[in-house]
Amino acid sequence: MVLDLHAKTKAQAEWEKMTPTQKKRQLFLNQKELLDTFLEHHAISRAQYQKSLGDLRLKMGFPEANH
């Protein structure tokens, strides 16, 4: 079996097709998902979650609550 080290994964190919705005939104959603997981596993408090999510929204330019 020969491995092609230059072959792209499906995720890499999809990422390359995204616009900068789509990439930014996906990065935001990935970070939000991580915060959701921390909250779900009680690694952070509800207050820390809300603060961190609010900070993330402001820094990434997604002030709306529907993301």
57-66 core/surface letters (b: 16 or more CB in 10 A; e: else): beeeebeeee
Q: Give the start-to-end residue ranges of the domains of the chain.
A: 10-60
Tokens, residue 41: 């596993």
Predicted local confidence at residue 66, as pLDDT: 53
> pLDDT tens, 4-60?
767 778 889 899 999 999 999 999 999 999 999 999 999 999 999 999 999 999 999
